[in-house]
Structures are given as C-alpha cells and as structure tokens.
Amino acid sequence: MVNTKVTLCGVELDNPIIPASGTFGYGQEFAALYDINCLGSFSFKGTTLEPRFGNPTPRIAETAAGMLNSVGLQNPGVEAVIQQELPKLRQVFHKQVMANISGFSVAEYAEVASRLEDQPGIGWLEVNISCPNVHGGGMSFGADPAMAAQVTQAVRRATKRPILMKLSPNVTDIAAIARACQEAGADGVSLINTLLAMRIDLKRRRPVLSNGTGGLSGPAVKPVAVRMIYQVYEAVSIPIVGMGGVSTAEDVLELMLAGATAVEVGAANLTDPFASKKIVEELPRAMEKYGVENLSELIGGAH
C-alpha cells in the first residue's frame, strides 16, 4: 500500500494535488461535480483588496500545446470573499484551503493578508507576485529580488500563517528571487506562473487578446517548470509548490523529483473539470509503477 501523504509548511496533506488559483474558482462549481475533499487542497481564485472586473475581452486564446489568458485577476474583492465565498466553501470543503492573494502596492498585499488572518480553514497564503496580466502591479514585484523581498516582509508582518510566494518565470534568475523571498521570511515558494506570450490574428493583423499579451499555460510550459523547480530546489531550503503543464500523475512525480513538495494543476482543469480528481486516483498506480512507496521520499530525488 503506497503512502501519498506529504507535509507542506507543517500542514499534512492526504496527497500533493492542489488545483491552481484561477482554474478552480472558490470551489463551488467543482463541488457540484465531485467531492473535492479528495484533493490535497486547492488554491482559490486570486483575491485583491477591491473588486476587479478584470481585463476586457477577448482574454482567452488557444494555442497548439496550451492556452493564453489575460483575465486580469477578476474577483469580487476580499470582503466579498470573507462574507460570501468562504462560508459557502466551508460547507463543501473540510480541509485547509490555500488563499491566493494579490495587490497593486506593498501595503495592499499586507492589507489583504491581514483581513484573511482570522478566517478559519485557511492553511496557507499564496502571494502572487507574478501575474503577467495586470498593469501597475503583479509581475513588477516578482521580477526584482528587492521588491519580492519587500512584499514578503510586509505579508510576513501581517499574518502568522505560512506564506508561499508565487514566482514569475519571466525573469533571468528565478533562483535569486526565491532566495530573496526565503531571506525575507517566506515559508515556501510556488512556481511557475504563466509565461508571457502573444498570438496575432492573421485576418485583423492585430493581437488576439485585447490586452496584447497574456500568460501561456498548459503542456508547453512543463519543461520550463521542471527546470526552474530544479534550480530553485538547489537555491533554497524552504518547500516548493510546483506547477506548470501538469495533466497526469507522471507529471506530478516528475515535478516532485525536481524538488516540489506539492503540485498544482492549472490549465488541465479548464479542459477537463475532473482532471485533478483523475490525477489523485492515478497517483497510487503511478507510484507502484515506478517503485515509490512513500511519496514524500520522492521530493528532490533527481538531485
């Protein structure tokens, strides 16, 4: 009998499968389809201080091996999440949830973290300093070690919960960003977010997305994710939540060998709403196939 349990920043998970922020909403749509308590956890939709409509449409485009999105952090704002979404979530999900937060200033990140501090059922804060789809925030914080550290420090002062800094792949040296976050007090890092990309409409001779650029996700980005997780694992001593192009149990094992403690599933949820459930079910068979008895022993095994 294989053991799929892992421990992320002191919280034990039944398995390492975590649907990624922006692909699982606040859980309600998926809870209507299956019992989402089969998951290790999930990262809820990126939440900001004020409500956001997001970017104008079109803001989704398909590619040969993935998709582009420039949704732009559409969400109802942190107070609506506290008053409406979290109470509903607690009725259908009985594990610790990962709260993904974002901001447009250092103070805003800290404020959102502070408002969520007393909410039950939140196991970790996943702090998005890497979103490439918004202007005036997001990626600008994740592209510079000093700014990444500044946000980390501010959120660290605002919460006692474990914080995971979500890093951008659109940088020259992601390991340097991860080290800066660790030194500033992060309990872990999440990577990778989407790669900055573009498509052009041949008939209109203009970008397909109204925002011009968007974030590339899906199978195309997995080799980049594996490489960056591998590099960051060698640079820091805090846990890594890996993501990027994951759609099978074998993908999960690969990211864990590179150094991930837990693994988020993103774009696959948008093409198949049962994707994360299927990966949870496939995981024991994949472990048996590759001779893995305790999944936690696989972490960083390729180093």
Evaluate whether 72 touches 63 at the Cβ level (below 8 Å).
no
CB neighbours of residue 231 within 10 Å: 18
Give the separation between CA 279 and CA 95, rounded to whole angstroms. Answer: 18
Closest by CA position to 127, among listed 247, 47, 55 = 47
Which sequence positions are flagged as catalytic? 131
Nearest to 126 by CA among 227, 244, 8: 8
CB 243 within 8 A of CB 192: yes
Helix, coil or strand: residue 165: strand
Task: List strands edge to edge, sheet with 17-19.
Answer: 17-19, 262-265, 240-243, 188-191, 163-166, 122-128, 97-101
Strand pairing of 122-128 and 163-166? Answer: parallel
DSSP state of 193: -
Cβ pair 93, 18 in contact under 8 A: no
Instruction: Name the burial class of residue 29, with classes exposed (0-12), middle (13-18) and buried (19+) by CB atoms within 10 angstroms of its CB.
Output: exposed
CB 191 within 8 A of CB 166: yes
- DSSP element (H, E) containing 90: helix 86-92
Say which residue the tokens 């942190």 belong to. Answer: 78
